[in-house]
Amino acid sequence: MGKERIDKIFREKLAAKEKLFVPYMMAGDGGLDTLEEKIAFLEKCGVSAIELGIPFSDPIADGPVIQQAGIRALESGTTLASVLEKLSVIRKKYTVPIILMSYINPIFQYGIEKFARDCFASGVDGVIIPDIPMEEEGIISPHLAAYGIACIRLAAMTSPPDRIKKIAERTEGFLYAVSVMGTTGARNAYAENISAYLRQLKENSPVPVLAGFGVSSGKQARYLSQYCDGVIVGSKIVDLFFKGKREEIKRLIESSLSGEPLTEKVKFP
């Protein structure tokens, strides 16, 4: 269903006054044979979509937790091709949107048109490519569009207003709001201008805005969700999966979506 599936599920959840929660996990961390069980678990927890990372040897946006997960996945033999092949076998059992996060190099080596075609065949709904700028995305976005796959763009806190407007107008599925300056990983605080930044994205984006990078607790998720439509949680989910702490993942998701008032303010540096 591609972009349509993301739009439908997100629209239904927001209409029900729910916030969106998208967990990230590294495909192949713990072996690719664990992928289906993890997808089933997260879907049962009520997540809005799943961001599935493709391991790459030279990541630029990933912090140490996700870097180590990528190394483990590569050592287990995980490739873009094996992930798509696995998804093609298991995808029809689940309705949760699946969004691939990959750097452009593995996609380029795989073949851009072939990648779009195989994503469609494997039931991938959206793609995030953090290292391809808006000016160069023309090498892949038309191919994704041909198969109805959402090309999800990222906005940074350092982006000037005119660029944010252009990114927001072009994104599909949702707008990924990078909520910190730096790589992925847990943070104890956010910049003081985070609320203004997220509000600006909301004003410009025709699709939901989700804050990612640095979200590691239900409190942080609820704090950021005051200003946007929900959050993406990566490093914390990856770490808890690696440690086998599924009950903690469940509690994190429940806490993020509980709607309970914040018990304490998020401290700023």
Active site annotation includes 62? yes
Tokens coding 69: 């997960």
Strand order of the β-sheet with 154-155 is 150-152, 126-128, 98-101, 50-53, 20-26, 230-233, 209-212, 175-178, 154-155
Question: Any idea what DSSP says for residue 33?
Answer: G
Active site annotation includes 58? no
State the Cα–Cα distance between residues 176 and 157, nearest whole angstrom.
Answer: 11
Give, for 74, the enclosing helix (H) or strand (E).
Answer: helix 64-75
From the list 62, 125, 229, 239, the catalytic residue is: 62
For the beta carbon of residue 11, count every other beta carbon within 10 angstroms.
12
C-beta separation of 182 from 208 below 8 A: no
Smallest Cα–Cα separation from 102: which of 116, 88, 89, 91? Answer: 116
Tokens coding 268: 């700023």
From the list 7, 36, 43, 51, the catalytic residue is: 51
Q: DSSP letters of 208-258?
A: -EEEESS--SHHHHHHHHTTSSEEEE-HHHHHHHHTT-HHHHHHHHHHHHS
Which residues are tagged catalytic?
51, 62
